[in-house]
Chain A
Amino acid sequence: MSQNLPALLVVVPMMLAPIAALINRSGPAWVIATSGAWFAFGAAVQLLRRVMTEGMIVYSLGGWVAPIGIEYRIDQLAAFVTLIVSAIAAVGVLYARTSVASEIEEDRHALFYAAFLLNVCGLLGIAITGDVFNVFVFLEISSLSAYSMIALGQDRRALTSAFQYLIMGSVGATFIVIGIGLLFVMTGTLGMADLAERIPAIWASGDGDRTIAVAFTFLTVGVTLKLALFPLHLWLPNAYTYAPSAVTGYMAATSTKVSIYLLLRFFFSVFGVEFSFEQMRLDAILMPLALVAILAMSSVAIYQSNVKRLLAFSSVAQIGYMILGISFGSVIGVAAGIIHLFNHALMKGALFMAMGCVMYRIGSVRIEDMKGLGKSMPWTMAAFVGGGLSMIGVPMTVGFVSKWYLLQAAIKGGNWLAAVVVVVGSLMALVYIWKVIEVAYFKRRENDDPIEEAPLSLLIPTWTLVAASFWFGIDAGTTSDVAMSAAESLLGMMQ
């Protein structure tokens, strides 16, 4: 059975989704979703272990070998991303039970869990597939389920933001298909390994190099739309603000991360670092956008009065950090981006989950409604502070680790501007996190309705992520080893 683990990782959640929908009862559907997410987590841990010791795992679906059939190719990076996604899904599904029960109507629970499982399946599929068209299929599976989960939010604006996301997401996905099509017509293959072999030859021959360049452009725009890089981020703040809390916590930690993984896959594995960075000068576009994203979105976040929205803008800024790391094009820069991928998933997940707890008790996440919460919901707000410290980049937290690597990368590349921006961005994070903390701890409530602490079923998952963000901040060796070796193999070659 173990040789089929790569397929099982994807098809177990996929199989459980229709079963959850068929049963159509809240409790059993949750049990199914939980078992699916935890199975995926276990499988991802196994796969990462195997990849770290034995190297890349290749699995041919249906026994059809690569150019004819679809291949799953799991290298360190893919295994690492599947681990992030499935870990967050495993924690998120525990959190979802209570949160979903309070925010979504009873008769939609089963469908919600089915959509959740499909989303997990889609994201994991993107991470491990070695076929570019298969990427598109999984991308759409994950996106369509994400749109429908966002639309389940209580506020009617959830509907419009889901619609907006649907339009922009579909345009992004269509751009990706156009890019894939152009690559296919030039190379006659859809396998990533084959593409990586053939593209340099076509580029060098000068015959059809324009098509390759256009394909590159379409893919770049499509993927950056999906990952919400600065000027293309417009769908993200609304979607994260109005989605149900459980969905926001899960999605903020996974979906944009997988899109960044996709960016790495296309630029480094398929096109190759030399093509992307020396011929196409990708860094010349990504770096300014990343810098602007960090500064502009952090300052926008400061002026938000809805904490979920604040965190959403902060997410766009944090995506800027990841892209900044990637845009250095050096091993340590890419590694910094990958580490931040993991770290940001932990801390943003924790922060959004803490906000979900607040939502559960007071039904609002506006800053002015959060007065005095430090006293009445000490554990929730402590979790928020924990995640916030990480966001600022205080030593002993994961945020510090990724900033440290980013600074190192910037200084090694002699890019002082980027180094300054990273530091300034951290200070701005301090401002917007402090805004919330100040109100929660140092302002008194006007009325004296007692507010209880959030239930344990919400607190335990939240604190799991907070604890993880401290654990991996102190013991940074594990993550940075994986990230460094993943970055090396990305920049070196596609084995």
Chain B
Amino acid sequence: MDDRVILRVGTKVLSPFILLFALYVQFHGDYGPGGGFQAGVIFAAVFVLYALVFGLERAMEVMPAKVAYACGALGVALYLGVGYLSMFRGGEFLNYSYLFDPEHDPTHGQHYGIIGVELGVLVTVFGVMVALFYAFAGRRRIDT
């Protein structure tokens, strides 16, 4: 653990805002630049920062490696799940227009479909990024 107070306090203060910013980027993706990829990386950056300042062990208490792995897999499942749902509803794979009942406005399906898919991307990218960081940081140092 790093004993520099500014870093520790700074990390603690900034973390929630970074998380919030990630969510902002995520939902801004519906209308403009942004989306799951960027948001996922920003989300993961918080945990990387936390691990750098407070040490890997404490970061793993906050976000266990198993959860990160599970996120990586769950996000993909969520993404594809939206696709399957639209298929079961009678449309093509990932045809969001079919997500709701036929009398519903298809644009609503488009809207929520994108949100679901982007959420899947967010979760996967976040999980994979954290898992990658853990995998490399967790290896013991090999000296020759």
A and B touch in the complex (CB under 8 A): yes
* CB atoms of A61 and B84 under 8 A apart: no
* CB atoms of A22 and B80 under 8 A apart: no
Interface residues on B, range: 20 to 34
- The answer to whether B76 has its CB under 8 Å from any CB of chain A is yes
A60–B97 Cα distance when bound, in Å, is 14
Contacts of B98 in A (CB 8 A): 63
Residue of A14, A15, A63 with most partner-chain B CB within 10 A: A63
Convert B87-98 into 0s and 1s, putting 1 for each residue whose CB lies closer than 8 angstroms to a CB of A.
Answer: 100011111111
* CB atoms of A7 and B92 under 8 A apart: yes
* CB atoms of A19 and B92 under 8 A apart: no
Task: Summarize B's interface: helix, strand, loop or mixed.
Answer: helix
- Chain B residue with Cβ nearest A22: B73
* CB atoms of A19 and B77 under 8 A apart: yes
* CB atoms of A18 and B77 under 8 A apart: yes
* CB atoms of A7 and B93 under 8 A apart: yes
Number of interface residues of A (CB under 8 A): 17
* CB atoms of A62 and B69 under 8 A apart: no
* CB atoms of A18 and B96 under 8 A apart: no
* CB atoms of A62 and B76 under 8 A apart: no
- The answer to whether B83 has its CB under 8 Å from any CB of chain A is yes
Interface residues of A in 1-23 (CB under 8 A from B): 1, 4, 7-8, 11, 14-15, 17-19, 21-22
Contacts of B77 in A (CB 8 A): 15, 18-19, 22
* CB atoms of B83 and A18 under 8 A apart: no
A1–B90 Cα distance when bound, in Å, is 8
Contacts of B84 in A (CB 8 A): 11, 15
- The answer to whether A59 has its CB under 8 Å from any CB of chain B is yes
* CB atoms of A4 and B70 under 8 A apart: no
Contacts of B83 in A (CB 8 A): 7, 11
Given contacts A61-B92, A62-B95, A63-B95, contact A4 B87 (CB under 8 A): yes
- The answer to whether B74 has its CB under 8 Å from any CB of chain A is yes
Interface residues of B in 84-120 (CB under 8 A from A): 84, 86-87, 91-98
B73 interface neighbour in A4, A7, A19, A59, Cβ under 8 Å:
A19
Convert A59-101 into 0s and 1s, putting 1 for each residue whose CB lies closer than 8 angstroms to a CB of B.
Answer: 1111100000000000000000000000000000000000000
Contacts of B97 in A (CB 8 A): 63
Contacts of B74 in A (CB 8 A): 18, 22
Task: Summarize A's interface: helix, strand, loop or mixed.
Answer: helix
* CB atoms of A18 and B73 under 8 A apart: yes
Interface residues of B in 58-82 (CB under 8 A from A): 69-70, 72-74, 76-77, 80
A60–B77 Cα distance when bound, in Å, is 21
- Chain B residue with Cβ nearest A6: B93
Contacts of A59 in B (CB 8 A): 92
Residue of B70, B87, B93 with most partner-chain A CB within 10 A: B93
- Chain A residue with Cβ nearest B75: A18
A11 interface neighbour in B70, B91, B93, B96, Cβ under 8 Å:
B93
* CB atoms of B80 and A15 under 8 A apart: yes
* CB atoms of A62 and B93 under 8 A apart: yes
A59–B83 Cα distance when bound, in Å, is 14
Contacts of A7 in B (CB 8 A): 83, 87, 92-93
* CB atoms of B87 and A14 under 8 A apart: no
Contacts of B91 in A (CB 8 A): 63
Contacts of A62 in B (CB 8 A): 86, 92-96
* CB atoms of A11 and B92 under 8 A apart: no
Given contacts A4-B87, A22-B70, contact A60 B92 (CB under 8 A): yes
- Chain B residue with Cβ nearest A23: B73
Contacts of B87 in A (CB 8 A): 1, 4, 7-8
Given contacts A18-B74, A22-B73, A22-B74, contact A11 B95 (CB under 8 A): no
Contacts of B70 in A (CB 8 A): 22
- Chain A residue with Cβ nearest B113: A62
* CB atoms of B73 and A61 under 8 A apart: no
Interface residues of B in 14-56 (CB under 8 A from A): none
* CB atoms of A63 and B80 under 8 A apart: no
Convert A22-62 into 0s and 1s, putting 1 for each residue whose CB lies closer than 8 angstroms to a CB of B.
Answer: 10000000000000000000000000000000000001111
* CB atoms of A61 and B76 under 8 A apart: no
Contacts of B92 in A (CB 8 A): 4, 7, 59-63
A18–B72 Cα distance when bound, in Å, is 8
Contacts of A21 in B (CB 8 A): 69, 72-73
A62–B83 Cα distance when bound, in Å, is 8
16 more contacts with CB within 8 A, not counting A4-B93, A59-B92, are A4-B87, A4-B92, A11-B84, A11-B93, A14-B76, A14-B80, A15-B84, A18-B73, A18-B74, A19-B73, A22-B73, A22-B77, A61-B92, A61-B93, A62-B92, A62-B94
**22 residue pairs from A and B, CB less than 8 Å apart:** A1-B87, A7-B83, A7-B87, A7-B93, A8-B93, A11-B80, A11-B83, A15-B77, A18-B74, A18-B76, A18-B77, A19-B73, A19-B77, A22-B70, A22-B73, A60-B92, A61-B93, A61-B94, A62-B86, A62-B94, A62-B96, A63-B97
Chain B interface (Cβ < 8 Å from any Cβ of A)? 69-70, 72-74, 76-77, 80, 83-84, 86-87, 91-98
Shortest 3 CB-CB contacts between residues of A and residues of B: A18-B73, A63-B95, A7-B93
